[in-house]
């Protein structure tokens, strides 16, 4: 079966750096997405990786290793507003999106 694994919850301190990992086993691979979702709100798109390597976008970066079935989202200079759930999703060989359950990130002052 297809599977996306992410930690359920993580805690970090304001101003610090946090890395949220995502591992996947899917039928084929056609890209990996990260979304941010604040409680009770809609997910919003953060990043897309289809080739190996690091994609940087301001305070957020996303890394992909296709051979290892692994990605991470790196958040720098954490702010209280970064408290949210972070969803990892992989597009499989049928171009269907497979979603992880999300990682709830708690930022403490």
Interacting residues toward another protein by CB under 8 A: 4, 8, 30-31, 33, 35, 40-45, 48, 50, 87, 89, 91, 95-102
**Three-state DSSP state, 39:** coil
Least gap, CB of 4 to another protein (angstroms): 6
* Extended strands (E) in 51-92: 53-57, 60-65, 70-75, 84-91
Please give the C-alpha separations between residue 54 and each of 36, 37, 62, 85, 104, in angstroms, as whole numbers: 18, 22, 6, 21, 22
Nearer to another protein by Cβ, of 40 and 109: the residue is: 40
Nearer to another protein by Cβ, of 18 and 87: the residue is: 87
Nearer to another protein by Cβ, of 22 and 78: the residue is: 22
Least gap, CB of 52 to another protein (angstroms): 15
In this structure, what are the phi and psi dihedrals at residue 10, rounded to the nearest 5 degrees?
-140, 150
Least gap, CB of 13 to another protein (angstroms): 26
**Three-state DSSP state, 17:** coil
């Amino acid at each position: 079966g297809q599977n996306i694994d992410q930690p359920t919850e993580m805690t970090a301190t304001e101003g610090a750096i946090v890395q949220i990992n995502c591992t996947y086993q899917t039928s084929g691979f056609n890209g990996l997405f990260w979304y941010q979702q604040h409680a009770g709100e809609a997910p919003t798109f953060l990043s897309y990786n289809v080739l190996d390597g690091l994609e940087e976008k301001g305070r957020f970066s996303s890394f992909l290793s296709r051979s290892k079935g692994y990605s991470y989202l790196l958040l720098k200079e954490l702010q209280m507003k970064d408290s949210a759930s972070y969803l990892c999703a992989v597009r499989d060989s049928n171009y269907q999106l497979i979603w992880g359950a999300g990682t709830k990130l708690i930022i403490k002052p």
